Structure 1
Amino acid sequence: KAIILLTDAGYHEPDKVDGSTLAAVAKRSLEIDPVNIYPVVEKHLEGSYEDMASQTTGQVIVSGGENDTIAALSKALTKIKNRPNAKLKIGEYYAEVGQKITFDAGDSYVVDGSITKYEWDFDGDGKIDQTTTSPVASHVYNEKFDGIMQVRMSASNDTVSNISAPVKVGIKPNLPVGPGAPQVSAKIIERNGNKATIRLNWQPVDELSSRWLVNLDDTNLGYTVGEQRQLDITDVDISTSRKVTVTGIKADGYAGKPATIQVDNEMSAPNPEGPTSRPCPYKIRVGLFTIACRYQKVTFGGWSFYWMVWYIVRS
């Protein structure tokens, strides 16, 4: 981010309206991504705005007066466009007190030049703690710290830029809580050769999921609504083992712990014709014997029916 400040007057420190100081402006600029300020002023104001530009990693652009304003604005825009694209490999740093943190700005670049200098401010106070020509620097915080660091970059095309990141030392990360891994089961309910329909069932272990993500191996099959507990996956090639994964997703999009189950080729589908025999509820007691019965399935052509078969059960 960048601000072009076009003015023909100086500024008060502290500000007469809200009491803001230059240090407070610089600190706030780091917190907002950061923001670089480019004052466009006439020559006699150049010196008074140097600190503001320097502390926010901007540059003062001198205007030659009313007839030169457009050219000065164009120059400021060119500076902003051609400045280094500053990047850190990690967006937020956590460490224990006394643990070394390595800051890596190696992904930074400038289009029409090269980065010649890196200035490291490890506590965000605006003072440079270390200067390097390498994009990597390390620092040890010997006491608890909750603030912002920054690295400023100067380029061979006479432009500057910076990037900042929160640093928390001795403070545990406040990680969001995601849904737990659901209880998952799967079985083949229909099969034709190596093509099958897999019935997937799952039960949540909490109430955090607003929807469910279902994957077959590495393929995302899509989402189901939060109330759904069963899904039939059709036309699945089971010539090899397949893995089905169910993951709960919160309303804010945060994914929970996945649960995976393997479906093997050896799994057999249930007999669609039903059992060939089954018990019946009738029993007759005669002395030492019990007469019981079973239903026995009989098939003729395309027709099937059950006989009632009676037999003796010895006590």
Structure 2
Amino acid sequence: MPDPHSQRPARPATPPQPPAHDTAQHVLHPPADDTASRTAVPADTSWKQDRGPLDTSVPCEPRVYDYFLNGADNYRVDRLLAERLLKVAPWLRALAWVNRLHGLATVNYLARGGITQFLDLGCGLPRTHHEGGNTHEAAEQVASGVYTVYVDRDRSAYGHTRVLLEDRRQAVVREDITDVAALFAASAVRAFDYNRPIAVLLHDVLAWIDDVGAAQLLSGLQAWLPAGSVISLTHAVIDTHPDVMARLTEIYHEDDIAFRPRSRDTIARLLGPWPLLKPGLVPTSQWHSPNPHAALDPSLTTSCAAVAIHPSPAPRLPDDPAHPV
């Protein structure tokens, strides 16, 4: 549990809510073959043996992010790291909210288009309804029969998510998402209906994975996903504030956390051959347009967003999918 004696910022009295989306529908196609290839990658699995007490002497990224969102599931060591980061980039807390609300808005949009299966990779710590809710809740606002699988390697994220969210229509998996073979072998992941599309969420995830692991994860997902599926991504970028991002990287590394913001060109290459839904790869605050976040300080362009769609057979998507949710 978090240190009860330290002070935290008050949570907003009225949390931000995703705006309403249009009602255009996706026309989805079943896959021609349900034997998609699965790419095995080497991975460190020693973390699976950590059965002892949770180590609260070192920070971890999901709890730092929780602090940015005014959450309660963080420790003093996480807050100390977060405050050092905020001194360099005071907009990080606002950016965390932009990323969070973008994710919920995108899930809601995809559910309106007919996608009701979600694989939330690197899901982080769950949020309460007053904190904006979670993936399955955003989808269930507009669709029924939603099945969501949350995946995270971190003990805190896995434990809290399992306690709060796991039930018949949601499952929680503790796995290193770069171990694609183990990810696809998990019973909860195998329970997806492969005759229907799946939305994979990689929201603020790839910046914590090295280049080889990120490339293998994306190629493995693209080989495995059925037709009509999408990959939604947000990612920290270095293009607009390279000096600030370099300093943030140094601060994270001082606590043995590997942070890898990338250029937009590199992120586009990671998405590979899949076409991007309009408006393409753009600042996260501008993907859902018009969006109240679009007028925020240009500093918030240190994150970009894209939704890649399965190219064959290409689903018929709304003409203008960038409307707000």
The alignment's TM-score, normalised by the length of structure 1, stands at 0.22
Q: Which has the higher contact order (CA 8 A, sep 6+)?
A: 2
Higher Rg: 1
Bigger share in strand? 1
The alignment's TM-score, normalised by the length of structure 2, stands at 0.21
